[in-house]
């Protein structure tokens, strides 16, 4: 494994060289050769380290304990959500998100119990990438972050910005901080174990499947669960004008093919913690559950 990791920089450099000789297949993904190499590296690390750890964690940890851990990290993520809601000027939603954070942090015992969802305060998903989109910044090229996963240039900037607000990184003791981060990653990866069969059945090309699911889900989030019904392919992820989103349409959101050849709408943005659909769409399958913190781990697929 160590020898393989030492070869990773050389492989990425080789892919960068080859990228100059190959025409991109998708204008949204001009760095596809490099991204595919990074994607495979992420997949290999997942298969050898992260996935086995997640399987072991699920085997030895009772369901209620895993739920407490998931809720705890979701509550920490609500700090990032609240900050970005304020930055987007959604002050009514900010009041609900603050109430959610307060209730779960106190009556919910540091967030391990999601009391707020029980009283009707829904879990939202906001991050700096979405905030930058609302401010008018375009997505830029699709980009697979090493060890993290699918992103765009805009979302990568947002991801780094959100890290500065992540409460986990405020833990002073390095050993404790690393342990908490590892638990966060393993907990999130455990929640993806059940969707792997769907991805394997639905995806002829796992890289393309994950890319399309990611880009559609981000579009869905930026438009608060109701993206434009008709748009050009090249403008599919174009951000709304700064400070103004289009009027919601009564028509359903664009459909995504499901594993049985049908279609399904993208996952709703404000889904209460713990809820699920009987037949998740590929966008939902390739993304973490809505109750998970926004700090992403990559989406392994050979098995996401």
- Position 289 scores a pLDDT of 41
Mean pLDDT, rounded, for 73-89? 97
Q: Is the pLDDT of residue 81 over 70?
A: yes
- Position 238 scores a pLDDT of 55
Is residue 214 a contact partner of residue 299, using CB atoms and an 8 Å limit?
Answer: yes
Range among 94-98, 224-228, 296-300 rated most confident = 94-98
Instruction: Kindly report which listed range (59-68, 182-191, 290-299) carries the lowest average pLDDT score.
Output: 290-299
Q: Which residue has the tokens 């060289």?
A: 17
Mean pLDDT, rounded, for 281-286? 44
Alpha-carbon span 123 to 126, nearest angstrom = 10
Q: What are all long-range contacts of 106-110, with beta carbons under 8 Å and residues at least 24 apart? A: 108/71, 108/75, 110/72, 110/75
Mean pLDDT, rounded, for 222-239? 66
- Locate 195 and state its tokens: 């969707």
DSSP string, the chain: -HHHHHHHHHHHHHHHHHHTTS--SSTT-TTHHHHHHHHHHHHHHIIIIIHHHHHHHHHHS-HHHHHHHHHHHHHHHHHHHHHHHHHTT-HHHHHHHHHHHHHHHHTTTTTTS-HHHHTT-------HHHHHHHTT----SEEEETTTEEEEHHHHHHHHHHHTT-GGGG---HHHHHHHHHHHHHHHHHTTGGGHHHHHHH-SSHHHHHHHHHHHHHHHHHTTT---SS--GGGTTPPPPTT-PPPPPSSPPPPEE-TTS-EEPPPPSSPPTT---SS--HHHHTS--TTS-SS---------
Task: With cut-offs at 50, 70 and 90, classify the pLDDT of residue 182.
Answer: very high
Is residue 122 a contact partner of residue 85, using CB atoms and an 8 Å limit?
Answer: no
Q: Which of the pair, 195 or 269, is modelled with greater confidence?
A: 195
Residue 229, CA distances (Å) to 81, 93, 245 in order: 26, 25, 14
**% of the chain with per-residue pLDDT over 70:** 67
Q: Is the pLDDT of residue 243 over 70?
A: no
The mean pLDDT value of the chain amounts to 78
- Position 225 scores a pLDDT of 87
pLDDT digits (tens, 9 = 90+) for 108-165: 999 999 999 999 999 999 999 999 999 999 999 999 999 999 999 999 999 999 999 9
What backbone phi and psi angles, to 5 degrees, belong to 235?
Answer: -110, 15
- Position 276 scores a pLDDT of 40
Task: With cut-offs at 50, 70 and 90, classify the pLDDT of residue 228.
Answer: confident
Nearest CA-CA partner of 121 in 69, 85, 155: 85
- Position 7 scores a pLDDT of 52
Residue 33, CA distances (Å) to 146, 203, 282 in order: 14, 19, 23
- The residues pairing with 143 across neighbouring beta strands, listed in sequence order, are 151
Instruction: Kindly report which listed range (19-23, 95-99, 108-112, 195-199) carries the lowest average pLDDT score.
Output: 19-23
Q: Which of the pair, 8 or 36, is modelled with greater confidence?
A: 36
Q: Which residue has the tokens 């190959």?
A: 22
Q: Which residue has the tokens 């003791």?
A: 173
What is the pTM assigned to this prediction?
Answer: 0.68
Q: Which of the pair, 44 or 2, is modelled with greater confidence?
A: 44
- Position 177 scores a pLDDT of 95
pLDDT digits (tens, 9 = 90+) for 194-204: 887 778 777 78
Q: Is the pLDDT of residue 20 over 60?
A: no
Nearest CA-CA partner of 31 in 41, 296, 219, 39: 39
């Amino acid at each position: 494994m160590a020898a393989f990791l030492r070869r990773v920089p050389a492989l990425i450099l080789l892919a960068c060289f080859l990228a100059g000789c190959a025409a991109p297949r998708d204008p949204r993904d001009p760095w596809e050769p490099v991204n595919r190499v990074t994607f495979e590296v992420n997949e290999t690390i997942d298969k050898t380290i992260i996935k086995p750890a997640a399987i072991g964690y699920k085997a030895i940890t009772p369901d209620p304990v895993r739920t407490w851990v998931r809720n705890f990290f979701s509550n920490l993520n609500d700090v990032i959500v609240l900050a970005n809601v304020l930055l987007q000027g959604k002050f009514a939603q900010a009041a609900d998100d603050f109430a959610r954070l307060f209730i779960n942090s106190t009556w919910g015992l540091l967030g391990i119990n999601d009391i707020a969802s029980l009283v009707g305060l829904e879990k939202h998903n906001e991050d700096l990438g979405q905030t930058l989109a609302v401010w008018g910044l375009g997505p830029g090229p699709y980009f697979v972050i090493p060890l993290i996963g699918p992103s765009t240039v805009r979302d990568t900037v947002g991801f780094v910005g959100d890290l500065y607000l992540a409460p986990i990184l405020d833990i002073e003791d390095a050993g404790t901080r690393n342990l908490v981060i590892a638990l966060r990653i393993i907990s999130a990866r455990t929640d993806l174990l059940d969707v792997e069969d769907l991805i394997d059945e639905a995806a002829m090309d796992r890289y393309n499947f994950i890319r399309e699911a990611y880009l559609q889900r981000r579009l869905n989030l930026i438009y608060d669960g109701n993206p434009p019904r008709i748009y050009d392919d090249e403008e599919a992820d174009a951000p709304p004008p700064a400070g103004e989103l289009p009027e919601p349409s009564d028509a359903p959101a664009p459909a995504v093919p499901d594993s049985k050849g049908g279609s399904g709408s993208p996952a709703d943005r404000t889904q209460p913690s713990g809820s699920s659909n009987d037949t998740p769409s590929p966008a939902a399958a390739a993304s973490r559950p809505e109750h998970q913190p926004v700090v992403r781990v990559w989406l392994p697929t050979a098995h996401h």
